[in-house]
Copies of this chain bind each other. A is one copy, B any other.
């Protein structure tokens, strides 16, 4: 599995937040219902993103979450890195510590270019890209 469920949920939620017209807060419950994500689980995922500054939150009535930065300044890489860690972008396919150009594993030549392409693409695509695409082409994010 490429991404954990937690990370998939986080990406869905942040794209949804990126699609909002104004900067008012959206309740986590709303997002959870929208995409059929377990509410309390999503809460924890969004807390991670909040701690990282990608998301902002307020408690109480009319509270909820919204993006903590310009959607243009948040990349897919950022979100994945916060929730799943940067491992997928850097680690050896076989899990060998120290695998690299100097002391590669047998799969290094195979995996390194793909990993690099993945990282570059993930760093190049922003939440704004994803959200505006979703609106423009009327894509579904979940369900």
Contacts and interface: CB of A to CB of B under 8 A. Distances in A.
Interface string A1-45: 111010010011001000000000000000000000000000000
Given A8-B94, A76-B110, A114-B117, A105 B140 contact: yes
A5 to B, nearest CB: 8
A3 B93 contact: yes
6 contacts: A3-B93, A8-B93, A11-B107, A96-B143, A106-B133, A110-B125
Interface of A: 1-3, 5, 8, 11-12, 15, 76, 87-88, 93-96, 103-107, 109-110, 113-114, 117-118, 121-122, 125, 130-131, 133-134, 137, 139-143
